[in-house]
Amino acid sequence: MFKVLSAVAKFFTIEPARKILALIFAFALWLFVAIDGIYNYEREIPVQYTNLSDKYMLVDSVPKLKVIFNGKGKVLINVWAYRPRAICSLAEVVPGKNVISTKDLIIPVKDVNVNFEAKYINVEVDERIAKVIHPVIPIKGTPRSGLSIAAVETQDTLVVTGPKVILQKLSEFTTESLDVTNHSVTFEKKIRMESAGELIKFSPENIRVKIVIDSTDRRVFNDILVAVVKNIGQNVRGLSLHIDTIVVAGARSVLSNLNKQNIIARIRTTDLVPGEYYLSPEIILPDFLTVLYYTPQRFRVFVY
């Protein structure tokens, strides 16, 4: 190792100027020969999609493609420095999946041959639609003691824009949680929609919400019919399927408009095999009302 280092040091210390010039000349000669030679250069480049009609949306596509560039070294150096894109025109696509030949893609470079690793790419397009949708607002916490939520009122119309294949299945969308902890009076707040991905856009992005606070009250209802949810062909017999007494709590203004028809009580036997059961009912109330007590708690049911 010492002999090697000594030889290198001797090379640069004896007539250094002449030897450095010789090295520069050799490198220049190599570079001249190299840039005029023919080479292959492989790299992954992004795909840029253009000319898509405003009535359509790009749902799924290939973001990058592997390409082999063949040409002179001096041209390939420009390709390396320029970082080209493959331009894919979507002027003639239709809704659904489209198969596009990579021969139809354009890469804006000159004096070089281009070969794609893939022969085709798949591009999925859908109609762009807009629809009014209902925001679902999760509530976190509770108002101060003795108070309840009477209503959560949306002050803005929420319009959602996105692919038809997705939006035609949606009737509601969830916002961020709304914290009502220790609130004592009616108030308004702006809340944002939860992220739905790049394809779904909301207008407005933040909606105004009014939370109505009222004093808590309770009411007693009697003789609520309990419905049976069963399979087709399944026989069910119950004994006295009525709730004798139920106590409901909530905002006074909401309870004043509540009647027996707004209270749903049901038991399910859809997953039961024939036999005798003691089942608790499921009780469904309007929003922001709660059941404090009901009797009887269970019902004797025969499935056969």
- d(CA 16, CA 7) in angstroms, rounded, equals 13
Question: Is 89 within 8 Å of 51 (Cβ atoms)?
Answer: yes
**Residue 85 confidence (pLDDT) above 80:** yes
Helix (H, G, I), strand (E, B) or coil at 80: helix
- Work out the percent of the chain whose per-residue pLDDT is above 70: 88
Per-residue pLDDT at 13: 55
Range of weakest confidence among 41-55, 143-157, 194-208, 240-254: 194-208
The token duo for 9 is 């040091």
C-alpha distance from residue 177 to each of 138, 140, 253 (Å):
5, 6, 24
Looking only at the bridges linking them, the beta strands covering 86-89 and 38-50 are parallel
**CATH class of this structure's domain 129-215:** mainly beta
Same fold, 36-126 and 129-215: yes
User: Residue 104: how many CA atoms within 13 Å on its side-chain side?
Assistant: 12
- d(CA 297, CA 291) in angstroms, rounded, equals 12
Radius of gyration of the chain (CA): 36
Strand (E) or helix (H) holding 236: strand 236-238
Q: Classify domain 36-126 at the CATH topology level.
A: RNA Polymerase Alpha Subunit; Chain A, domain 2 (2.170.120)
Query: 217-303 domain in CATH 2.170.120.30?
Result: yes
State mean pLDDT over 194-216: 91
Per-residue pLDDT at 256: 93
Strand (E) or helix (H) holding 27: helix 16-35
Greatest extent of the chain over all pairs of C-alpha atoms, in Å? 114
Per-residue pLDDT at 194: 82
Could you tell me the residue ranges of all domains in the chain? Answer: 1-34, 36-126, 129-215, 217-303
Q: What size, in residues, is the chain? A: 304
Per-residue pLDDT at 21: 54
Amino acid at 62: V
Sign of CA dihedral 246, 252, 253, 254: negative
State mean pLDDT over 167-183: 91
Question: Is 157 within 8 Å of 183 (Cβ atoms)?
Answer: no
Per-residue pLDDT at 41: 86
Q: What is the pTM of this model?
A: 0.68
**Residue 80 confidence (pLDDT) above 90:** no
Per-residue pLDDT at 18: 56
State mean pLDDT over 140-168: 93
Per-residue pLDDT at 195: 80
Strand partners, 128: 163
What is the tens place of the pLDDT at every residue in 240-265? 899 999 999 999 999 999 999 999 99
More confident residue, 12 or 176: 176
Binned at pLDDT 50, 70 and 90, residue 15 comes out as low
Residue where the block lists tokens 């420095």: 81
The token duo for 36 is 């005029």
How many Å from the N-terminal Cα to the C-terminal Cα in the chain? 94
Mean pLDDT of the chain: 87
- d(CA 158, CA 135) in angstroms, rounded, equals 7
C-alpha distance from residue 249 to each of 143, 150, 242, 256, 285 (Å):
14, 11, 20, 11, 10
Binned at pLDDT 50, 70 and 90, residue 20 comes out as low
Range of weakest confidence among 107-116, 139-148, 282-291: 107-116
Residues 6+ apart with CB under 8 A from 6: none
Strand partners, 15: none
The token duo for 48 is 């840029």
Binned at pLDDT 50, 70 and 90, residue 136 comes out as very high
Per-residue pLDDT at 5: 47
Binned at pLDDT 50, 70 and 90, residue 184 comes out as very high
Sheet architecture: strand order including 299-303: 236-238, 299-303, 275-279
**Residue 30 confidence (pLDDT) above 50:** no
